[in-house]
Amino acid sequence: MSLNLFIVGPSGCGKSTQAKLIAKKYGLIHLSTGQILRDEISAGSGFGLEAKSYLDAGTWVPDNLTFDVLVNKIKPLGYQNFIIDGFPRTLNQGRIMELFLKKNNQSFSLLIHLNVTFAEILARRVKMGDEFQDTDRTDNTPEAVTARQKSYDETIGPIKDYFKEKGKLFDVDGNRPIEPIFTDIVKKIDNLLVKSK
Ligand code: AMP
Which ligand 1 atom minimizes the distance to the CA of 54? 12
Question: What's residue 129's pLDDT?
Answer: 66
Question: What's residue 135's pLDDT?
Answer: 56
How remote is the CA of residue 61 from the centroid of ligand 1, in Å?
A: 7
Which residues in the chain land under pLDDT 50? none
pTM of the predicted structure, to 2 decimals: 0.94
Question: What's residue 130's pLDDT?
Answer: 54
Query: Which residue has the CA at smallest separation from atom 4 of ligand 1?
Result: 11
Question: What's residue 172's pLDDT?
Answer: 98
Sheet holding 29-32: strands in order across? 29-32, 82-85, 4-8, 110-115, 169-173
- Say which amino acid occupies 177: P
- Torsion, CA 38, CA 24, CA 149, CA 165, rounded to 10: 120
CB neighbours of 98 closer than 8 A, spacing ≥ 6?
108
How remote is the CA of residue 141 from the centroid of ligand 1, in Å?
A: 15
- Cα-based angle 166, 169, 173 (whole degrees, multiple of 5): 155
Would you report the helix, strand and coil content of the chain in percent, each value rounded to 5? 60, 10, 25
